[in-house]
Copies of this chain bind each other. A is one copy, B any other.
Amino acid sequence: MNNKIFFGIDIGGTATKLGAFNADGLLLKKWEIPTDTAESGTKILPHVAKEILDFAQDLARIASVGVGVPGPVLHSGYVKRCVNLGWGDFNPARELSALLHGVPVFAGNDANMAAMGEYWQGGGKGAHNIVFLTLGTGVGGGIIINDRLIFGQAGLAGEIGHIVVNPEETIPCNCGQLGCLDQTASARGIVRRAELLLKTNPTPSILRNVVTLTARDVFDAAKDGDPIACEAVRTCIGFLGKAMAMLTNILDPEVFIIGGGVSKAGEYLLNIAREKYISYAVLSDQRAKVVLAELGNDAGIYGAAKLAMDSLR
Please report A residues at the B interface, Cβ cutoff 8 Å.
80, 129, 143, 145-146, 148, 150-160, 162-165, 167-168, 175-177, 179, 242, 245-254, 280, 282-286, 288
Contacts and interface: CB of A to CB of B under 8 A. Distances in A.
B283 A153 contact: no
A80 B254 contact: no
Contact of A284 (B154, B158, B253, B282): B154
Given A153-B129, A167-B167, A176 B282 contact: yes
Contact of A157 (B152, B252, B286): B252
B250 A247 contact: yes
Given A146-B146, A150-B251, 19 more contacts: A80-B285, A129-B152, A143-B251, A145-B146, A146-B150, A150-B252, A152-B248, A152-B251, A153-B252, A153-B286, A154-B286, A156-B283, A157-B252, A160-B249, A164-B242, A167-B167, A167-B168, A177-B280, A246-B246
Contacts of A179: 167
Contacts of A246: 162-164, 246
A286 B249 CA distance: 25
Contact of A251 (B148, B157, B177, B288): B157
16 contacts: A80-B285, A129-B153, A145-B150, A146-B148, A152-B251, A153-B252, A153-B286, A154-B286, A156-B248, A156-B283, A159-B249, A160-B249, A163-B250, A164-B246, A177-B245, A250-B251
B163 A283 contact: no
A283 B154 CA distance: 11
B284 A156 contact: yes
Contacts of A145: 145-146, 150
A241 to B, nearest CB: 12
Contacts of A150: 145-146, 251-252
A252 B177 contact: no
Given A145-B145, A176-B282, A282-B175, A249 B162 contact: yes
Nearest to A129: B153
Given A80-B285, A282-B177, A157 B254 contact: no
A252 B151 contact: yes
Contacts of A176: 282
B156 A249 contact: yes
Contacts of A158: 250
A68 to B, nearest CB: 18
